């Protein structure tokens, strides 16, 4: 029985590692200012990211243009939505910036333990890139 359980655990670990290597964007990332951490996950065939930790966990979403959302905490917000994998890039999604209350088009490109996150308006040339670092 122990051998069977060990075999099952090994198989599950192998599947998990294969899934992550097939989707290198999945996992936990820290932004460049080290003020926030995002967990990227897959729901159906789309990718999303939740701000699971921020330096000041009491901060509220006061810049949100929707007044009914201004009293919610920033920690726990889903700030990356609806990305589709295209080769090594994840695109077609949006990123919400709680510091400004604005939502931008976005694309993300993993490069090893780094993740280039480019938010933009209209075309990708009119934007800004931030580099996240994988949390191990």
pLDDT tens-digit series, residues 30-66: 999 999 999 999 999 999 999 999 999 999 999 999 9
The token pair that represents 7 in the structure block: 């075999």
- Over 60: is that where the pLDDT of 108 sits? yes
| Alpha-carbon radius of gyration of the chain | 17
CATH architecture of 25-134: Beta Barrel (2.40)
CA 101 and chain centroid, separation = 17
Report the alpha-carbon distance of residue 103 to residue 121 in Å, rounded: 9
Contact 119, 125 (CB under 8 A): no
* Structure-block tokens of residue 46: 């789309």
Predicted TM-score of the model (pTM): 0.81
Q: What is the pLDDT, as a whole number, of residue 29?
A: 98
Per-residue three-class SS string for 55-74 = CCCCCECCCCCCHHHCCCEC
pLDDT at 122: 79
Domain-wise residue ranges, the chain: 25-134
Q: Is the pLDDT of residue 5 over 50?
A: no
pLDDT band at 17 (very low <50, low <70, confident <90, very high): very low
Q: Which of 9-18, 32-41, 83-92 has the lowest mean pLDDT?
A: 9-18
pLDDT: which is higher, 4 or 60: 60
Helix (H) or strand (E) holding 49: strand 46-54
């Amino acid at each position: 029985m122990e051998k069977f359980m060990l075999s099952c655990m090994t198989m599950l670990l192998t599947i998990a590692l294969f899934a992550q290597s097939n989707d290198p964007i999945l996992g936990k990332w820290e932004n460049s200012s080290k003020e926030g951490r995002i967990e990227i996950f897959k729901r159906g065939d789309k990718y999303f990211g939740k701000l699971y930790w921020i330096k000041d966990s009491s901060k509220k979403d006061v810049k949100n243009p929707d007044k009914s959302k201004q009293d919610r905490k920033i920690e726990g917000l889903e700030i990356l939505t609806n990305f589709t994998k295209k080769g090594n890039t994840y695109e077609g999604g949006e990123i919400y910036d709680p510091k400004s209350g604005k939502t931008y088009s976005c694309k993300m490109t993993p490069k090893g333990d780094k993740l280039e996150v480019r938010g933009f308006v209209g075309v990708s040339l009119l934007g800004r890139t931030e580099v996240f670092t994988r949390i191990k």
